[in-house]
C-alpha cells in the first residue's frame, strides 16, 4: 500500500534544479532517503525502498551525495581501533 503526499513548491524550485515537477519529486525522494540513511534513521534496504530504487542502485546513488555506504558510529570505530 502507498500513500500520496502533496507538497506545495514555488515554481522557481523546478527551474533552479532544471527538473520537471515529476523529476523533482523523484530527486526529492532520493535526497530524503539518502539523508535519513546517512543519519542512521533507516537501513540501506528501507532507504532504497523510500527512494523507489533497488538496493544496488540506491548504493550507487550515495556517491552523488558524497555519502559512504558504510555506516559506523563512534562505538564501532573505537571497537575496531582496539582490535
> What's the pLDDT at 13?
83
Confirm whether 54 is domain-assigned: yes
Q: How many domains does the chain have?
A: 1
On the question of pLDDT at 76 being above 80, the answer is no
Number of other residues whose CB lies within 10 A of the CB of residue 13 = 13
Domain span at 66: 19-82
Confirm whether 41 is domain-assigned: yes
Confirm whether 5 is domain-assigned: no
Average pLDDT over residues 1-30: 89
Confirm whether 73 is domain-assigned: yes
Helix (H) or strand (E) holding 78: helix 74-82
Confirm whether 12 is domain-assigned: no
Contacts of 48 (CB under 8 A, 6+ apart): 33, 54, 55, 57, 58, 59
Confirm whether 6 is domain-assigned: no
Mean residue pLDDT across the chain: 90
Please tell me the distance from the alpha carbon of residue 25 to that of residue 19, in angstroms, as a whole number: 9
Of the ranges 5-14, 60-69, 71-80, which is most confident? 60-69
On the question of pLDDT at 9 being above 70, the answer is yes
Confirm whether 75 is domain-assigned: yes
Confirm whether 7 is domain-assigned: no
What pTM value is reported for the model?
A: 0.81
Amino acid at each position: 500500500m502507498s500513500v500520496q503526499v502533496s507538497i506545495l513548491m514555488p515554481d522557481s524550485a523546478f527551474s533552479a534544479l532544471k527538473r520537471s515537477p515529476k523529476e523533482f519529486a523523484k530527486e526529492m525522494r532520493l535526497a530524503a532517503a539518502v539523508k535519513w540513511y546517512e543519519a542512521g534513521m533507516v537501513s540501506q534496504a528501507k532507504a532504497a525502498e523510500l527512494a523507489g530504487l533497488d538496493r544496488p542502485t540506491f548504493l550507487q546513488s550515495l556517491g552523488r551525495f558524497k555519502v559512504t555506504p558504510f555506516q559506523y558510529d563512534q562505538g564501532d570505530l573505537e571497537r575496531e581501533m582496539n582490535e
